[in-house]
Amino acid sequence: MSDQVISKSSKVISDYAGSLDGSVCLPDQVLFPSTFHELHGIVAEAKEKLLELHVVCTGRNWGYGSAQGTGEGQTIVDLSRMNKILEVNEDLAYARIQPGVTQGMLAEYLAKHNSRLQLDVTGAPAHTSIVGNFLERGFGHTDYGNRYESILSLKVLLANGKNIATGFGCFKENRNVFDQGIGPDLKGLFSQSNFGIVHEMTIALQPKPAHFCMLILSVKNKDDLGVLVDLVRELRLKQYVNSTIHIANPGRVTNRDTKQLGAWVLSGAISSSKAIVRARKKTIRRICKRRLSRYKLVFVDDAKFRLIKFIHRRIRPLAIFENLKSAIDLQKGNPTDQPLKVMTDLEEVEHIRFADDFATKFRWINACCNAEKTSIEKMMQLLSEIYEKYQYPLQLTLTSINARTLILIANVRYVDDPDAIKKANTFYVECAQALHENQFYAYRTGIRCGVPYDDDYKEVLGNLKECFDPQRVFSPNKNSIN
Ligand SMILES: Cc1cc2nc3c(=O)[nH]c(=O)nc-3n(C[C@H](O)[C@H](O)[C@H](O)COP(=O)(O)OP(=O)(O)OC[C@H]3O[C@@H](n4cnc5c(N)ncnc54)[C@H](O)[C@@H]3O)c2cc1C
């Protein structure tokens, strides 16, 4: 295939074949284009030779299929060499990037150029992509944590070789960043789909707040989760907190002593001007007092964190220090390895790139839940029963992706042996089914998992696929679109 790097080496093939659920899906080859021209050539050749292409940005889709394609024998197109930061606009607060740009690269660029802007980062390490995660509608930890909402425009290569842009990219000449453009807004069609290859994305960046402040709230009683969720909804609806808010059980926060964390610990960002932070603190204290009885509410700003750091380094080590530091990093847009360290129980995770680099297997279980007491209690009951039946420790976070919806991310970790993998698969299917039947639907699926759409909806998706990619070149069956 033209002049881009092609790999058929067995090591590379196996890197892209494995998934953390223990499954293997062998590709035929892996291509690494470094220009749009090369990418264009790959698509043309794939059509001619009837190849199936599956595109990844960095292929670190851990827990959702890693770098696997949607089927055996595919050509994986790894876009990590198309990694240019094309523009950062300080006034309009956006960045224009290629798909291979990682969170680490953009965060480093912003720091190096003394930018007034910050990136929203996920809990995945620095070398994971921005574009792949935004397209899968992942989420982060700041006011821009609902990442899909920060997509201003996409440039997309279609299977017929045409190159289109969303928003006002509908016109030949465009300098306007209004994401909705005019006419149908096509942006959503290229997210969680298989209709085209996104080769450029413009994303909104957040102006760095003048005063950093993190909110941490913990409750002693396990049964207070429903009240906590009602409280989160109030904070988000009334915009006292604009960041995503994460509620976690201690097992998901740290693998150290967890006594001080209570039954549930919540974190969010209330960073803004000093006056607004002061007003938000006062209001949040009042709301907590009204809604909760046994709880601990702490605000950590830069001055307080410096003090905590001093105590940790000079007086006595604090068990929670690394996790606190990592939560602050995430809220400031600095990628961190800490969540991966907690998840893997490893001190060093630098080497982890592909599924085979992990010492254990794991899977995410995710589901959306209305941000209300009755819904969350029902979901938790379902989940707890199944976790107990299979004797897995319940480790989960609930993230207020917006004011009305929480996203559950629970996981199971298990050793790499056939019995453990089989057990985890049975558990996963039971869990996913029970959640779905009770209308707690997944917000994102594993790359080779199906979505049981209603028939009419599925037909529309099929018609769209026929229109964009009649030869089924791109990731056939991704999200059950065919
Ligand atoms: C410890 C830990 C913490 C994590 N924390 C988070 C978190 O906070 N938030 C979160 O969302 N996820 C999180 N993850 C999950 C996952 O690791 C990230 O979502 C990661 O960013 C996905 O990998 P990637 O960026 O390399 O995407 P890729 O693997 O490159 O892409 C993902 C999928 O998107 C599609 N795609 C990619 N590129 C294109 C393109 N150019 N055009 C069209 N379609 C494309 C493909 O279907 C591809 O399979 C975490 C995982 C771990 C292990």
Mean pLDDT calculated for residue range 115-126: 98
* DSSP tag of 356: G
Q: Name the band, by pLDDT with cuts 50, 70 and 90, for residue 257.
A: low
Mean pLDDT calculated for residue range 223-241: 98
Same fold for the pair 85-207 and 213-344: no
Q: 99 in ligand 1 pocket by Cβ < 6 Å?
A: yes
Q: Is the pLDDT of residue 256 over 70?
A: no
Query: Tell me, what's the pLDDT at 200?
Result: 98
Structure tokens at 37: 């021209």
Mean pLDDT calculated for residue range 439-443: 98
Could you count the other beta carbons within 10 Å of the beta carbon of residue 40?
17
Q: Name the band, by pLDDT with cuts 50, 70 and 90, for residue 261.
A: confident
Closest residue by Cα to atom 46, ligand 1, is 56
Q: Is the pLDDT of residue 171 over 90?
A: yes
Q: Name the band, by pLDDT with cuts 50, 70 and 90, for residue 260.
A: low
- Show me where the domains of the chain are located: 85-207, 213-344, 360-437
Q: Name the band, by pLDDT with cuts 50, 70 and 90, for residue 30.
A: very high
For tokens 């030779």, name the residue.
Answer: 49
Q: Is the pLDDT of residue 251 over 80?
A: no
Structure tokens at 182: 């005019």
CA quadruple 460, 464, 467, 472: dihedral sign: negative
Q: 43 in ligand 1 pocket by Cβ < 6 Å?
A: no
Mean pLDDT calculated for residue range 174-194: 96
Q: Is the pLDDT of residue 247 over 70?
A: yes
Euclidean distance between CA atoms 58 and 56, whole angstroms = 6
Euclidean distance between CA atoms 424 and 426, whole angstroms = 5
CATH of 360-437, picked from 3.40.50.720, 3.30.300.100, 3.40.50.740, 3.40.30.10, is 3.30.300.100
> What is the pTM (predicted TM-score) of this model?
0.96
Query: Tell me, what's the pLDDT at 259?
Result: 62
CB neighbour class for 440 (10 Å; exposed up to 12, middle 13-18, buried from 19): buried
Compute the distance from residue 67 Cα to the ligand 1 centre, in Å: 9
Q: Does domain 213-344 have CATH number 2.120.10.30?
A: no
Q: Is the pLDDT of residue 380 over 60?
A: yes
Query: Tell me, what's the pLDDT at 249?
Result: 92
Q: 39 in ligand 1 pocket by Cβ < 6 Å?
A: no
Compute the distance from residue 398 Cα to the ligand 1 centre, in Å: 19
Compute the distance from residue 363 Cα to the ligand 1 centre, in Å: 14
% residues pLDDT > 90 (the chain): 94
Kindly report the CATH class assigned to 85-207: alpha beta
Compute the distance from residue 64 Cα to the ligand 1 centre, in Å: 8
